[in-house]
Structure 1
């Protein structure tokens, strides 16, 4: 059971990223794991969640070559639409690179579990990790038309199952988008859609 996040009205790129806490009393897990979450990520050392609702947190890193390859995706973007496409590819590539380090390379779409929870990511993990990746891209200065924004949720007041997502904001139109990688398996490009559509219950036509 996850705790849904409410949408924030302000977006602070310097605010530390923290895991989403479960609605249950998980003080032991919090004390032993969450305190090690790196709230100000950088490619040389950052934290990611996995194994369902941040049950496990791992510190990972990217080589200079791998990080340069991610940043190069943004070299030829000329507008916000192209930048969103580059963000999709960057997150997919980061999931592939990080999956090899934490054992989530076989993460299935949604909350499917092949053998056990370890290595599987739910929407809490995906929203947190995507926010980490977006923050690092923003800090690297490659986002010219967007800024990273807070995670948000849907479902609590719509009669739907609670679901979380990372978000970005178009700095020219001030439009907010959901960046949701939960619908697809590890290394597949996340969907980037209008947040209002996502809030209304958007689902892929097929999966």
Structure 2
């Protein structure tokens, strides 16, 4: 199966080369060069994301932009949402092409240390009646320690600990509430098959996607 997580360093150290699948079932592949300026633009966009929800929103846009870049270097600029609007056109992409390539885009970001709130998993498959559909998957992780606020220690706690052996005073330190959108372990599908080349990918909770949610395209 053609869902390997592949990317390699480009001829120039600052660039990356990502193989893009097309013509259905990964029948064709062509390398796309992602230059330093593009990588730094992506990094800056992701650094603006202060939590997991914002990072997912950024990823939807970034995946679309990377496909737009691929469309300037390969025939995938002809790809349209679903399978029927571009049937038999050179550069068309089915869900195997998309899930494979989108996973590679995401792995590229991981390799460059750009993801702070998610990790990349193997593509998921859903089956409805006789139809199968594949999508790239990310999983939310605990946010980096530096992004969490430090607990506020009441003034009396250090004094009480110094005067007596009363560790129960530590209970007076208020617990930190979780980040508003923090749901470690929650999985999401990043599905670019639903949209035309260059448009933002659709990001859905995996459970909803498995239940058939997503734009009504064929």
The interval holding the TM-score normalised by the smaller chain is: 0.7 to 0.9
Q: Distance in 2 between the 1:131 and 1:163 partners?
A: 15
Structure 1 residues 130-145: aligned runs within 5 Å: 130-145=102-117
Structure 2: unaligned runs, 5 residues or longer: 10-14, 143-183
Match of 2:200 among 189, 193, 198: 189
Structure 1: unaligned runs, 5 residues or longer: 1-17, 21-36
User: Does structure 1 residue 170 correspond to structure 2 residue 116?
Assistant: no
Count of matched residue pairs: 172
Match of 1:127 among 92, 99, 103: 99
With normalisation by structure 1, the TM-score equals 0.76
Question: Tell me, what secondary structure is at the counterpart of 1:136?
Answer: helix
Structure 1 residues 104-123: aligned runs within 5 Å: 104-114=76-86, 116-123=88-95
Q: Distance in 2 between the 1:180 and 1:59 partners?
A: 21
With normalisation by structure 2, the TM-score equals 0.73
CA RMSD of aligned residues (A): 2.1
Paired residue for 2:16? 44
Q: Distance in 1 between the 2:210 and 2:78 partners?
A: 28
Paired residue for 1:61? 33
CA deviations 1:86-129 (Å, max 9, x no partner) are: 11111011000011111111211000244633111110000001
